[in-house]
Amino acid sequence: MNWIRRLLGQQSDAARSNTQPAVTLMADPPDAGAESEPPAPEEPALPEAPPQPVDNVTRPLPQEPVLPPPSNRQHIMFGQMTDVGMVRTNNQDAAISFFTTSRSSEARPDFGVFAVADGMGGHHDGEKASALAARTFTREILNKLYLPMLLDEGFLNQNPVAEVLVESVLHANSLVLSQVPDGGTTLTAAVVIGDLAHIVHVGDSRVYMLTRDSIVQVTRDHSLVQRLIELDQITADEAADHPQKNVLYRALGQTENLEVDTITRRLQPGSRILICSDGLWNVILNKELHEIVMKASNPQEACEQLVGLANARGGSDNITAILLQMPG
């Protein structure tokens, strides 16, 4: 029996050794007097990935740089300014600028009407006459030249420009005679079609053509002093102080039998056209006109500088300027 007890006792000891709990090893606690190490810094969080594009959704294209238009797409620039001056109480000058451009397979030319009228007469008669003349002339040009241009390619052959200009001035003259019998006005205008300037002129307002190297007076004054200069009876210096320097022998509102000057000029790239009343050219020399116009950054700035100079020199009359600048 002893061997049976020994056998059973050995098996019980072995079973007890197999069922003993596992021992967990613990690190020794830190010494209370020792410095604790700082905690390791947290790693920065990574940015979230952008959302993936959804199928069938159009994504915007990257922006492309905006390029300036080619030089052959440039157009006429113009400026306009009128001022009562420093002496007069009302402005008897009138100015109108109309310009249109288009681009299509029909290749219509650029078109513009630019007119200056300087009124004459007691109190308000002069300003009424100039406003009526400028408005009537512009309306006639638009009806007889511009609107047909939109409808018929052969408009220039059907309506010779010089004839239309004269007819338009004569119609304006007829209205001034009937509606403002005590008033009169000059009328000087340029109708620009493409690179051609068709100029019409009555009175002593002026048209100048300017290039980088020159300034040329295109129109001829219809004044008494200019006629005396042409007859060699007075000099240009004497005309400036002549007691009858403001007397005109040709103007709208004087007679039904009005003679009208017409001139055509081809416009060079970069050239300018200045249309102005005598309140400007009477006090500013041609070389000064040229210098101011060519140095100005744009036509409007030039007009403002010209009118400002005329006022600085007394501004004894109304002052009006329209300046056109051709591309190139």
The verdict on residue 24 lying in a domain is: no
Give the list of residues 6+ apart from residue 184 with CB closer than 8 angstroms, or none: 119, 120, 121, 126, 129, 176, 248, 251, 252, 253, 254
Mean local confidence (pLDDT), 308-328: 97
Q: Do 266 and 196 contact (CB within 8 A), yes or no?
A: yes
Q: Do 172 and 137 contact (CB within 8 A), yes or no?
A: yes
* Beta bridge mates, 93: 118
Mean pLDDT of the residues in the chain = 85
pLDDT band per the 50, 70, 90 thresholds, residue 22: very low
Minimal CA–CA distance to 115: which of 132, 137, 99?
Answer: 137
pLDDT of residue 40 exceeding 90, the answer is no
Range of the domain at 162: 74-220+248-325
The verdict on residue 143 lying in a domain is: yes
Q: Is pTM, for the whole model, over 0.85?
A: no
The pLDDT of residue 180 is: 97
DSSP E strand stretches across the chain:
77-83, 93-100, 111-121, 183-185, 187-193, 196-202, 206-210, 215-217, 261-266, 272-276, 319-325
The verdict on residue 54 lying in a domain is: no
Query: Domain containing 166 — which CATH number?
Result: 3.60.40.10
Cβ neighbour number for residue 264 with a 10 Å cutoff: 12
In terms of residues, how long is the chain? 328
In the sheet that holds 215-217, the strands lie side by side as 77-83, 319-325, 272-276, 206-210, 215-217
Count how many domains the chain has. Answer: 1
Q: Do 277 and 315 contact (CB within 8 A), yes or no?
A: no
Max mean pLDDT among 21-25, 66-70, 246-250, 286-290 falls in 286-290
Instruction: Average the pLDDT over each of 115-124, 189-198, 282-291, 293-302 and give the range with the smallest value.
Output: 115-124
The verdict on residue 181 lying in a domain is: yes
Q: Would you state the torsion angle of the CA atoms of residues 174, 180, 186, 189, taken in this order, to the nearest 10 degrees?
A: -60
Minimal CA–CA distance to 325: which of 287, 274, 266?
Answer: 274
50 vs 323 pLDDT, higher one: 323
The pLDDT of residue 42 is: 59
SS3 of residue 281 by DSSP? helix
pLDDT band per the 50, 70, 90 thresholds, residue 281: very high
The verdict on residue 241 lying in a domain is: no
pLDDT band per the 50, 70, 90 thresholds, residue 74: confident
Per residue in 79-113, pLDDT (tens digit) is: 999 999 999 999 999 999 999 998 888 878 899 99
The verdict on residue 48 lying in a domain is: no
Per residue in 138-177, pLDDT (tens digit) is: 999 999 999 988 887 555 566 689 999 999 999 999 999 9
The verdict on residue 98 lying in a domain is: yes
Instruction: Average the pLDDT over each of 27-41, 197-211, 222-236 and give the range with the smallest value.
Output: 27-41
The verdict on residue 126 lying in a domain is: yes
pLDDT band per the 50, 70, 90 thresholds, residue 245: confident
